[in-house]
Amino acid sequence: MAQSRLGSALDTGVEYRVFVDREWYHRERRLLWEGPVWVALALEAECPPGRSYSTFFGDRPAWVEQDGSGGWTARLADGRPLKVTAFQGVLFASGSANPPALAEYLGPRTMRYLERIFSRPIEVLGHHHQAIDANWKLYAENVRDQYHAGLLHRFYQVFGINRVSQRGEVYLDGPGWHHVLAVWRGDEDPTDRAAVEREHNYRGAGAWQLSDASLLAVETEFDDGVTQQIQTVFPNLVVQQIGNTLAIRRIVPQGPQAMDLWWTYFGYRDDSLSLRRKRLLQANLIGPGGLVSMEDAEAVECVQRAIASDPRGRSIMAMGGREVADSPHRFTETAVRGFWRGYQELMQIQAPPATRGA
């Protein structure tokens, strides 16, 4: 497959072949996963002292363990060593001979929001592993598509967890490869909220109730008022705060049309008993069978089937413009464009000159 034929993700969209072609998938392994990136391996809290922890580096099995001096080592299944470094208890690895410094790679804003979540010692509460029949990049797009949550996830809308009428902002970093969505549940335009509720009543959802409303009883933990944080670090890490449920998600490719999603739920070691109960209860909102997120896997699988039926097509991402920049609202695909900017740089994709500025 000639790289020049793929076009530019920012100028002409993304050719569907990158979601289905096996040759291209193997090219990703060489140029992206083994390129100058930092891949999230695990949380330090997941790795028992003196024991190896099994994880994945891209689609390849890997092991990480603490060395005798308190640092970390990692290797692939074939014994090849990986460079390892940690930030705020998150372990990152690189297969590149000369990766950038992690601080340079992440950028100041990404580090600040990681520090916000990993502000004190954590304790792992549990795991989910989810198999999804779709290319990993579709899920990477999903978590960067900031307007879909208030449209696709009906539970979010009806019970006011995340609505398009609430304040939401998108921040990019590194340069645009990583992103943060911040939502303030308590900051909602009353006119917009009334319009959303009228739509719910029209569809018959206005009368929906929970038999146990404690599921939505959120305890304030952060001074900034943010009630939802969805953060990505290119290429495979998602960090979430949804109410009181805290987790990371790691994307694991499993071929051109399959992936796994590894969820790790955690709390803080000094959690009160009542807060720990809230974290465990609210974990039912998220994950493979979550009241909120079970639609995500179905959505990306539907897209994958459509792409596979005609791989000659192309997707575009022009909502909110063509720039890759911060946004004071969620009605934009700027974070999706940021992902593809990083992807096309690593994969050495060139834009046909005639399409630039189109």
The CA distance from 333 to 326, in Å, is: 11
Q: What per-residue confidence (pLDDT) applies to 192?
A: 62
Range of 28-37, 43-52, 216-225 with top mean pLDDT: 28-37
* 130/203: higher pLDDT: 130
Q: What per-residue confidence (pLDDT) applies to 126?
A: 95
> Average pLDDT of 312-336?
87
Q: What per-residue confidence (pLDDT) applies to 353?
A: 38
Residue 47 banded pLDDT, cuts 50, 70, 90: very high
Does residue 16 surpass a pLDDT of 70? yes
Mean pLDDT across the chain? 86
What digits encode the pLDDT tens for the residues 64-109?
999 888 899 999 999 999 999 999 999 999 999 999 999 999 999 9
What digits encode the pLDDT tens for the residues 161-184?
776 777 789 999 988 999 999 988
Q: What per-residue confidence (pLDDT) applies to 125?
A: 97
Q: What per-residue confidence (pLDDT) applies to 171?
A: 94
Residues of the chain above pLDDT 90, percent = 59
Boundaries of every domain in the chain: 3-35+103-206+216-355
Q: What per-residue confidence (pLDDT) applies to 352?
A: 40
* Alpha-carbon distances, residue 94 vs 8, 91, 250 (angstroms): 26, 10, 15
The CA distance from 348 to 35, in Å, is: 11
Residues of the chain above pLDDT 70, percent = 85
Q: What per-residue confidence (pLDDT) applies to 4?
A: 33
Q: What homologous superfamily does CATH list for 3-35+103-206+216-355?
A: Naphthalene 1,2-dioxygenase Alpha Subunit; Chain A, domain 1 (3.90.380.10)
Kindly report the number of other CB atoms within 10 A of residue 281's CB atom. Answer: 17
Q: Which token pair is 21?
A: 């072609």
Does residue 141 surpass a pLDDT of 50? yes
Q: What per-residue confidence (pLDDT) applies to 201?
A: 57
Q: What per-residue confidence (pLDDT) applies to 295?
A: 82
Q: What per-residue confidence (pLDDT) applies to 309?
A: 93
Does residue 1 surpass a pLDDT of 50? no
* 286/101: higher pLDDT: 101
Q: How many residues does the chain have?
A: 358
Q: What per-residue confidence (pLDDT) applies to 8?
A: 46
In this structure, are residues 58 and 33 in contact, taking their beta carbons and an 8 Å threshold?
A: yes
Does residue 37 surpass a pLDDT of 90? yes
Residue 207 banded pLDDT, cuts 50, 70, 90: low
Q: What per-residue confidence (pLDDT) applies to 203?
A: 57
Q: What per-residue confidence (pLDDT) applies to 188?
A: 66
Q: Could you give the angle at the alpha carbon of 269 between the alpha carbons of 266 and 272, nearest 5°?
A: 100
> Average pLDDT of 276-281?
94
Name the one residue in this structure whose structure tokens are 């046909």. 352
* 215/343: higher pLDDT: 343
Does residue 265 surpass a pLDDT of 80? yes
> Average pLDDT of 122-130?
95
* Alpha-carbon distances, residue 248 vs 40, 46, 58, 237, 346 (angstroms): 10, 12, 16, 7, 24
> Average pLDDT of 262-283?
96
In this structure, are residues 263 and 249 in contact, taking their beta carbons and an 8 Å threshold?
A: yes
Residue 354 banded pLDDT, cuts 50, 70, 90: very low
